[in-house]
Structure 1
Amino acid sequence: MGLDDAATKPHEALAAHLAAKLGDVDALIRARMASRHAPRIPEVTAHLVEAGGKRLRPMLTLAAADLCGYAGDHDVRLAATVEFIHTATLLHDDVVDESASRRGRPTANLLWDNKSSVLVGDYLFARAFQLMVETESLRVLDILSDAAATIAEGEVLQLSTARDLATTEALYLQVVRGKTAALFSAATQVGGVIAGAPERRIAALHDYGDALGIAFQIVDDLLDYQGDAKSTGKNVGDDFRERKVTLPVIRAMAQADEGERAFWRRTIEKGDQQDGDLDRALDILHARGALDATRAAAIAWVAEARGALGVLPAHPVRDMLDHLADYVFARLT
């Protein structure tokens, strides 16, 4: 996409620009994940929070507030809120998916147990709501509480569509908007709200986060079939082995002949997977152009995110957010 070396990792440029605020966010996260009565809470939380994630979502909140000229400290509280919500959902997701690794490390449910993961996730949700209230903004509370509910709805919808080859692209997009994009769009939107930005700019920030989140998840689903375990933190084919119906499979099913439909029904719907099935799945995905079609969808959503930024004022942070949209897709290269 024509990115030079300096722009291939724009999340690092954004992190450097926001370094002081991010330090405050990390300090607040450490302080609020403490518990006087249950030492397992900070143990479990620290395992995930300190696992080397990019802090992308809290950076979006800080960046949006900075772009809109905010000079207070509520952006730090909201960034920590967003990270707590994200971490809570990861703890719950790993239990639901029965995952054994995340970001190349054992999951909390594997190291401790499912009960600890669920309850610590609940604790982090409670902490997130405490931080929201401290901003004394009813609108912020409305946006983030709605996002939390939407995330839960998205996860439940994903359960109901799991292993169902009749899942449409529209339904897939609804799941993605719920489980991933909702927090991206809320993260950017509240940054503008806390800064008192004009409604047009707040709407643009929401639209940027929404499109960025959708592109991010589509790329994640594509990386599952053509990524590198060292960089993605998961093995190629994990979604196939877990029988998840993601966009590459949906696109392949749309072009499948009867033999290929039988293959997908056996491996995804019935769960009868044999040696060599992943290789055959990859062959079908390539032959039917499903991976290229999924890549094109990701590019389109990246363009949508970049287009939303046009409403926002000229600012170095706006340029960083523009490059960040490119980087979401550049993870494929």
Structure 2
Amino acid sequence: MSPRGVRDPRSVTGLPLLLTTPPPCPRCRPRARRRVPQVAVVVRPAPCRGFASQQSLQAPWAAAVSKLQSTVADVLPSRLGSLAAAATAGSDKVSVDPLKIVGRELKFLSKNIRSLLGSGHPLLDTVAKYYTQSEGKHPHLSSHLEAEPEADSDEVGVLPSQRRLAEITELIHTASLLHDDVIDVSTTRRSAPSANIEFGNKMAVLAGDFLLGRASVALARLRDPEVIELLATVIANLVEGEFMQLKNTAVGEANPQWSDNTLSYYLQKTYLKSASLISKSCRAAALLGHCTPNVVEAAYAYGRNLGLAFQLVDDMLDYTVTGRELGKPAGADLELGLATAPLLFAWRTRPELGELVGRRFSKPGDVQRAREIVINSNGIEQTRALAQEYADKAIAAISAFPPGDAKAGLEDMCVKVMRRRK
């Protein structure tokens, strides 16, 4: 029986309410017999967090997940931890390919992204999808797609909202590549002509803006204020990091001297340009999975440290491998006037680099001279050591996660980041 004096039945907490219409009066009863029989409607309280799609409630494994959560809630009341605990025992003893764990999800990722990028303008449609047609590096996608292992198998069960988050993350990342290639006057990307070379600067910039617009629409449809705020700050961070990169030091003096702040400035810029997207995507994935606060923080710490390690290795490869291996011109950082970690470490013992850093290697012979100094110093080794330190911190951040394929995959990703050659 519905309570009296309450206009909105949903405001009543406790047991579900059974709502029926009152019986008709004697005069109306004959007419009521000809009506459609009354149907009892069960009204349940709405979930505390909303998603853009409710398909997850109908998923075959939803009931099993719900039962598993209630069973282990006292031990680890979070979807991430409880499902990871149910992964195959002993799987952390062997190396697990993180891309294979989420292979089913990544298989359809590009297709889903291209469907988000459909445009009525043929040229815009072509430019916007240009970078989604080539295989790239997806640490930001794999890291948070692996956070939801299915209870009864080694496969990964991902909520629809988390799948859409992965697609949004890739849209933001691809937009940043389009804009970066224009700013850096790049000629190649992933062993193919860059978009600015293929279509021109204007179309590349507009396509990047279009991707950010589509990402923003998809993000809003998640209807989760905290996740929306996280990914919106990522876009701002990318711009802030690009502005910081306009100078090699905080002051930007003509003849700077090395100090501890020099490396701090570089690491802050690196976080904004690279690690922010990975770390905040991991945090958002944990939030969408209804994880406990400690798991959310662990996911963020994992992504932050993984992102910093990834970029440090990237800066190191600019000095150690060929352009053919990288899929883009080697030594491009110095050509662009950028002082990255290997040079900054070399600068600590080779003060003559300060003058070159101050004028951004703009004079003839500056690039070659700076490169030779770095190669003959321990800058590359120190960069590798710092990257390893961040990779170890990423693994330590998830040490409390229960063993399983998901955890092993996240750990193995840190190993692969350190070993990569492109």
TM-score normalised according to structure 2 size: 0.70
Alignment of 1:105-144 (within 5 A): 105-144=192-231
The CA deviation at 1:178 is: 0.1
More helix by share: 1
Alignment of 1:76-95 (within 5 A): 76-95=163-182
The CA deviation at 1:331 is: 1.6
Kept in 2, the 8 Å contact 1:64–1:189? The answer is no
Amino acid at match of 1:216: F
* Structure 2 residues not aligned, in runs of 5+: 1-93
Query: Is 1:102 matched up with 2:189?
Result: yes
User: How far apart in 1 are the matches of 2:138 and 2:308?
Assistant: 17
Alignment of 1:1-333 (within 5 A): 7=95, 13-36=97-120, 38-66=121-149, 71-161=158-248, 166=256, 168-258=262-352, 260-262=353-355, 264=356, 269=360, 271-274=362-365, 278-331=367-420
SS at match of 2:129: helix
Q: What are the superposed Cα offsets for residues 110-156 of structure 1, whole Å, 9 maximum, x if unpaired?
A: 11111111111111111111111222211111111111111211111
User: How far apart in 2 are the matches of 1:118 and 1:51?
Assistant: 19
Deviates more, 1:136-145 or 1:49-58: 49-58
The CA deviation at 1:281 is: 3.0
SS at match of 1:64: coil
**CA 159–257 in structure 1, closer or farther in 2 if over 3 Å, else same:** closer
Q: What are the superposed Cα offsets for residues 249-277 of structure 1, whole Å, 9 maximum, x if unpaired?
A: 1111111144x545x358x5350133xx6
User: How far apart in 2 are the matches of 1:61 and 1:132?
Assistant: 16
Amino acid at match of 2:128: T
Higher Cα Rg: structure 1 or 2?
2
**CA 154–300 in structure 1, closer or farther in 2 if over 3 Å, else same:** same
The CA deviation at 1:67 is: 8.1
**CA 130–308 in structure 1, closer or farther in 2 if over 3 Å, else same:** same
User: How far apart in 1 are the matches of 2:229 and 2:357?
Assistant: 42
Amino acid at match of 2:415: D
The CA deviation at 1:66 is: 3.8
**CA 198–70 in structure 1, closer or farther in 2 if over 3 Å, else same:** farther
**CA 41–312 in structure 1, closer or farther in 2 if over 3 Å, else same:** farther
User: How far apart in 1 are the matches of 2:330 and 2:376?
Assistant: 18
Provide the aligned length of Structure 1 versus Structure 2.
318
Please give the root-mean-square deviation of Cα atoms over the aligned residues, in Å. 2.3
The CA deviation at 1:205 is: 0.5
Amino acid at match of 2:115: A
**CA 70–134 in structure 1, closer or farther in 2 if over 3 Å, else same:** farther
Kept in 1, the 8 Å contact 2:315–2:340? The answer is yes
* Structure 1 residues not aligned, in runs of 5+: 1-5
**CA 71–281 in structure 1, closer or farther in 2 if over 3 Å, else same:** closer
